Amino acid sequence: MTAPKTVAFFGGSFNPPHVGHVLAAAYALSTTPIDEVLVVPVFQHPFAKELAPYDHRRAMCELALGWLPGVRISDVERTLGGESRTLRTLQHLRETEPSWRLRLLVGADVLADASKWYRFEEVVALAPLLVLGRAGFEVSGAPEALLPEVSSTEVRAALAEGQGDRLSSKVPARVLSYVARHGLYREVRDG
């Protein structure tokens, strides 16, 4: 029988991943009793947000986060196919990895959007929240803001305006190089 381990499920669009994502994973591994952060890029967004192609977002996650010890990038939502739902993915992981104790790693901004999630109470029952404070998001019950004020929306807007040079402190250099090499985010998208 496999020894139990605590895995923090870190899902998102990662459209593109930024330093807030990197710091969230590193901070969670450093300060909480978890063994691994499982980074799970959304395959098809449930709110029909337009995203960069999955393969690009997954590759950028590898560049941004894959080098961190204790972080693994997962294709589970591509394997499941169709519209990504956190509940469905967590249920699948519970079945396929019964020795895992799951936690849901989120930024404080998610607390304000909990009502938009599909069956949020069931999600939290499967994977209790591991909430990290995020600058720019004052939410009741959230911990002190430790993550910088940066968002993928802001990053995409700067890239679309040709201002990628002002992102050097907000996006990992390897991700910026990948974006430039593949011509991503030349126009502003939702998501």
The domain segmentation of the chain, as residue ranges, is 5-147
DSSP secondary structure letter of residue 143: P
The pLDDT-based confidence of 135 (bands split at 50, 70, 90) is low
Mean pLDDT, to the nearest integer, of 112-136? 80
Mean pLDDT, to the nearest integer, of 37-62? 89
pLDDT for res 140: 65
Q: Is the pLDDT of residue 67 over 90?
A: yes
pLDDT for res 190: 45
CA distance 12 to 106: 9
Mean pLDDT, to the nearest integer, of 47-67? 91
* For the chain, percent of residues with pLDDT exceeding 70: 89
Q: What are 138-191's pLDDT values in tens digits?
A: 666 666 767 778 888 899 999 998 888 889 899 999 999 999 999 999 875 444
The CATH topology of domain 5-147 is Rossmann fold (3.40.50)
Q: Are 145 and 13 within 8 A, CB to CB?
A: no
